């Protein structure tokens, strides 16, 4: 099952994608793709619906973030050994955790807004995990039972803000529109193995990242279990699990985004995104 949110920013409605790829309006069934809607029981009720009974939505509609009510946007750094190598850093002995402000969340095809004065805005295709129910001290063997589904995200980063200025990574990760998620939230039953998904990213038509979640150091189940030792995870929390090699910082010479560039990315079974880069006003 593929769930999404559509409409103008801040006024999105819940929807689902039928077998023919048509968006269907779920407004008469649920208020939003958030909270209790992400529970196993609610997801099962949505899966049992006949999409043909729901209103079709114009295909040209804007897609919003595929989940609402996100309390925490948690990211895992250096979680692919080959990306750690291109960054000149060691593979960490346990997951590196940082936060991305929830105000960075935007729709999958909304523009990347390059911050004022930025010269090092970068791209990162990532698999995101969306939590479906409260998780605390969860065993790794059970961790994926707490997942509502998976989605695609671009962990847009400003490297100078992230690395070259004092403090932690958050300020280089949290600028407006640095967190496009979607197009869909794909229910966990449709992702048989989150550790075997091809992923890619292009800038202006040139492939920059071409990897697989197989090379993740700490897999999705481990990450969910690990995080639940340090904080409660709640429905709608998003965990972005890291990126394979090929980011702009790792190019030789380094290459970063500028106004007019077009970024396209995708993960097998989770859809694609397309973002045009613009300067902040």
Residue 190 counted as domain residue: yes
pLDDT in tens, 189-235: 999 999 999 999 999 999 999 999 999 999 999 999 999 999 999 99
Q: Give the count of domains, the chain.
A: 1
Q: What is the pLDDT of residues 46-70, one digit of tens each?
A: 999 999 999 999 999 999 999 999 9
248 is a domain residue = yes
For the chain, the DSSP string reads -EEEEESSTT--EEEEE-TTS-EEE-TTT-S-SSGGGGSHHHHHHHHTS-GGGSPB--TTSPB--S------EEEEES-BHHHHHHTT-PPPSS-EEEE--GGGEE-TTSPEEEPTT-S-EE--EEEEEEE-S-BSS--GGGGGGGEEEEEEEE--EEHIIIIISSS-GGGGT-STT-EEB-S-EEEGGG-S-TTS-EEEEEETTEEEEEEEGGGBSS-HHHHHHHHHHHS-B-TT-EEE----S--GGGSSS-----TT-EEEEEETTTEEEEEEEEE--
Please indicate, yes or no, if residue 90 is contained in any of the structural domains. yes
Full domain range(s) for residue 233: 65-279
Q: What is the pLDDT of residue 109?
A: 98
Determine, yes or no, domain membership for 49.
Answer: no
Instruction: Decide if 40 is inside a domain.
Output: no
């Amino acid at each position: 099952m593929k769930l999404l949110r559509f409409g103008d920013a801040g006024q999105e409605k819940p929807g689902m994608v039928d077998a023919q790829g048509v968006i269907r309006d779920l407004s008469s069934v649920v208020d939003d793709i958030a909270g209790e809607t992400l529970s196993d029981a609610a997801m099962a009720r949505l899966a049992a619906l006949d999409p043909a009974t729901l209103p079709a939505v114009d295909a040209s509609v804007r897609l919003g973030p595929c989940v609402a009510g996100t309390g925490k946007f948690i990211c895992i750094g250096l979680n692919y050994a080959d990306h750690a190598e291109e960054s000149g850093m060691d593979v960490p002995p346990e997951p590196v955790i940082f936060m991305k402000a929830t105000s960075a969340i935007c729709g999958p095809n909304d523009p990347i807004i390059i911050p004022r004065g930025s010269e090092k805005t970068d791209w990162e295709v990532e698999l995101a995990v969306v939590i479906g129910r409260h998780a605390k001290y969860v065993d790794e063997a059970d961790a994926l039972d707490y997942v509502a589904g998976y989605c695609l995200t671009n962990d847009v980063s400003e490297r100078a803000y992230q690395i070259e200025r004092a403090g932690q990574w958050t300020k280089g990760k949290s600028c407006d529109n640095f967190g496009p998620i979607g197009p869909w939230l794909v229910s966990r039953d449709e992702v048989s193995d989150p550790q075997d998904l091809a992923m890619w990213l292009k800038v202006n038509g040139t492939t920059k990242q071409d990897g697989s979640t197989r090379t993740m150091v700490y897999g999705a189940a481990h990450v969910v279990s690990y995080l639940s030792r340090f904080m409660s995870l709640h429905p709608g929390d998003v965990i972005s699990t890291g990126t394979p090699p090929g980011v702009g910082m790792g190019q030789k010479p380094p290459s970063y985004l500028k106004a007019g560039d077009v970024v396209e990315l995708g993960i097998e079974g989770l859809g694609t995104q397309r973002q045009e880069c613009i300067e902040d006003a």
